Chains A and B, each alone.
Chain A
Amino acid sequence: MIRWILGRLLQAAATLVVVILLLFVLMRLAPGDPLSRLVGDRDLAPGELELLRARYGVDQPVLAQLRSFVAGAVRGDLGVSIEHHPDRVTSLLASRLPATLLLGGVVLLLNFTLGIWLGVGQAVRRGSRFDRWTGRLALTAYAMPGFWLGLVLVAFVSLRWQLLPAAQMTDPMLPPDADWGTRLVDLLRHLALPALTLSLTSIALTMRHQRAAMLAVFRLDYVTAARARGLPEQQVRWGHAWRNTLVPMLTLLGLWLPILVSGSVFVESVFNWPGLGSLAAQAIASRDYPVLLGTAMLVSGAVVLAGVLADLGYALVDPRVRPS
């Protein structure tokens, strides 16, 4: 078992290496070098550009750049931010990570519990009005751009109706000695809209997968056999049928991360949520290439890791997959 895990981790590492190489290629592909944009944005004295070039190593030959890039990546050093100089990219990422994890975690929880429950409900009532209309509603929400839905919600719920805060993670005007209960409520109130936006726009995915998986399992013999034994319908539905949809649903979990991260770039910037997404959005505005690159690398690493975890999950959930 351990050998199998190590094997998977090795594969993941190999994929990561290719990812790093690809990212480097991407960086070089874009016309001009990352710093040339700065010339237009700010007024740099003629010598300053050369200085910057030297500092960021952009004037070195390609292979040397590659070497230092890979070496840095392996060491965990992703360079220095241009905009926030002299902050290191890694520390910037680290400072923003918790907020995104919080938002992402809540959205994941919401989406999976609600999505699974609705998806199973749809499958069990296949062809009914519930099935069709929930599906249509979810699909409509899926078609909404995250930034637009966010803006609409802010405009109406926050600004017009004053129900929930419009931006950021916490109320800057909270007294410093406020107890944790008040802090928690404040956090939740700020979390509500961004989490809602991200969840709504992607719940269709979970629902569809769950529905399809349930339908496929429902017509299998062992489900009829379970009923024939006199097991209560709820137990047949969840303990026997749904239990067998866990494998395709785990696959979905792996697919989910890129969607979540991409969506958070828009949602976080609309709501000013201090996470990785808004960091990336700001980096775009200020053409802060190292930060963008670092974020991309972090996210890719997370995706690869999620893949390994999903594989582990398969073995846990389906006894047929386990190496024996």
Chain B
Amino acid sequence: MVLVLLAALAPFVLPDPAAIPDAVAGATPPSASHPMGTDQLNRDLLSRVVNGGRISLSVAALAVLLSLTLGTLVGLVAGYAGGWVDAILMRGVDAALAIPRLFVLLLLLVVWERIPLGALIVVLGTTGWFATSRLVRGEVLRLRHEPFVLASEALGAPGWRTMTRHLLPNAAGPLLVAATLGVGDVILLEAGLSFLGLGVQPPTPSWGGMVLEARPLIVTAPWVALFPGAAIVATVLAVNLLGDALQAALDPRSA
């Protein structure tokens, strides 16, 4: 299993030369010189898919990193402080969770003229931390009154110290699993947004965008849409399997 997912992920980490468009020839099916064929502008599909992968993966990774940080922060504070701080924060989180993430993203992105990549990452990151915060909060609550935490407090350690050195490491396991699975979710989300025109903007390649552009050709040249989509499936599947493997390593009973 591990080998499969390594193989799936590796190509997207490798650098690849930029593709050169040639509008005249149009889309051609897979052949020896173009293993995935070419798209409607006769650009080599393989290199576009690979490039698109680099973009999609980096966007997803950075966004998840942001979500992780925000979620952990809020979760730690809410769980540790307790009382009305916790109540207010969690009320907010509950309400935020009620709005499907896609709609939040739509509302935020639809007003932009042209969405810069950085903004996309920030938006993705700031909409994905809610569930993480609940997770971290749960862990903190569980360990809140354990002897080692009380000892740290008794020694006069300030709240921050206790939180980061004692509580955080214990939540690391489930957090890692959630983060990995989160990457898969963000890849799908970003692809969807790009398909709607709200994600990565052309001519920067992105898988979702490629499927969008390939839509009119779906019957005459299906490979133009097939390959980018298959790439999404392979990557998300690989990431999810990785998350599962991590989950099994942490809690063998769930296998």
Contact = CB atoms under 8 A, between A and B. Distances in A.
Any A–B CB pair closer than 8 Å: yes
Interface of A: 14-16, 18-19, 22-23, 26-27, 29-34, 36-37, 40, 139-140, 142-149, 151-152, 154-156, 159-160, 212, 215, 258-259, 261-262, 265-266, 269, 280-281, 284-285, 287, 289, 292-293, 295-296, 299-300, 303-304, 307
Given A142-B240, A148-B229, A29 B196 contact: no
B111 A32 contact: yes
**Residue of B98, B195, B234, B236 most packed against chain A (CB within 10 A):** B98
A155 B226 CA distance: 11
Interface size class of B (residues with CB under 8 A): 35 or more
Interface stretch (B17-25, B44-52, B132-140, B214-222): B214-222
Interface in B204-218: 208, 211, 215, 218
Contacts of B101: 258, 262
Given A147-B195, A258-B101, A296-B99, 6 more contacts: A15-B95, A144-B229, A145-B211, A152-B225, A159-B218, A262-B101
B232 interface: yes
B188 interface: yes
B211 A29 contact: no
**Residue of A16, A258, A287 most packed against chain B (CB within 10 A):** A258
Given A18-B92, A160-B219, A303 B98 contact: yes
B232 A143 contact: yes
A258 B105 CA distance: 13
B99 A30 contact: no
A262 B99 CA distance: 10
30 contacts: A15-B98, A16-B98, A22-B92, A26-B104, A29-B108, A30-B109, A32-B112, A33-B111, A142-B240, A143-B184, A143-B188, A143-B232, A143-B234, A143-B240, A144-B229, A148-B225, A151-B211, A152-B229, A155-B222, A159-B219, A261-B103, A262-B101, A266-B195, A281-B196, A292-B106, A296-B103, A299-B103, A303-B99, A303-B100, A304-B98
A262 B241 contact: no
Interface of B: 91-92, 94-96, 98-104, 106-113, 184, 188, 191-192, 195-198, 208, 211, 215, 218-219, 222, 225-226, 229, 232-237, 240-241, 253-254
A258 to B, nearest CB: 4
A147 B211 contact: yes
A296 B240 CA distance: 29
A303 B101 CA distance: 12
Contacts of B225: 148, 151-152, 155
Contact of A37 (B107, B111, B195): B111
Contacts of B232: 143-145, 148
A303 B195 CA distance: 25
DSSP majority for the A interface?
helix
Contacts of A295: 103
A209 to B, nearest CB: 12
Contacts of B211: 145, 147-148, 151
B95 A262 contact: no
A145 B195 contact: yes
A27 B106 CA distance: 11
Contacts of B237: 139-140, 143
A53 B221 CA distance: 45
A140 B8 CA distance: 14
The list of the 6 closest CB pairs from A to B, nearest first, reads A148-B229, A18-B95, A143-B236, A258-B100, A262-B102, A30-B111
A20 to B, nearest CB: 9
B185 to A, nearest CB: 10
